[in-house]
Structure 1
């Protein structure tokens, strides 16, 4: 059973449809934006354990984006270091920021959060309508990851 602290409130887009069509647009740069895959410490631990790589092999240090402390390295073409043949080679341990895409969570203060989304994602408008439960589960992943910060 999913429990969320009742003092915490979040808003989410109503009547939004989404289904990932595995286009990998979220895994790299596009004509309109530079994709930055920011990583939490827990992301580093999971990826390192899965790949037996050190963090320096797949990340660069960043400042000013706390709680994110590292950024995923990219290929010369601007794609995620772990994108292989159009698929994520670390899908089971992919970073929190990737689990959220195409959604973002903004802290509005006073224990209030807002889910928003990018219209750039080709999966927006496709598939089933997302219910509150979907966003509750995303929020639970966020809170679990923040406990490790």
Structure 2
């Protein structure tokens, strides 16, 4: 199981490299900073990400909050308590995301960012290719499940707030 998590950590570094590059490229348009938590929600993640967060929490215990109106349990005083270990979806928020929807390319970006930016200025070179990375994550998760023999299908997603559930924690150890 450690091997698969290592692959996930390497993948996460690739995501971070691209998001750092895009953050630098779009710096003047990004309003994202500590205290902005509009995108901090109780997302559902693949078991590989859930397990990686769970493993990280063994070494870094945090006070998990109650999920209020779908907010993230790791949000405390408008800041992420597990920022270093946050899932991929959280690492890409705020950036312009390019993805396929109903056979056409669509662009998504935070409503607080890119307010004076023309959509025509977005290109594959200055956007995050969400589908490409989601596909890689899906395949890593599939490998992880096969090796770990956890009782999840490759299509299962687990809400982050389930990390508070002791019974589920025990099943994943």
Higher relative contact order (CA 8 A, sep 6+): 1
Structure with greater helix percent: 2
* TM-score, length basis structure 1: 0.50
Structure with greater strand percent: 1
Larger radius of gyration: 2
* TM-score, length basis structure 2: 0.44
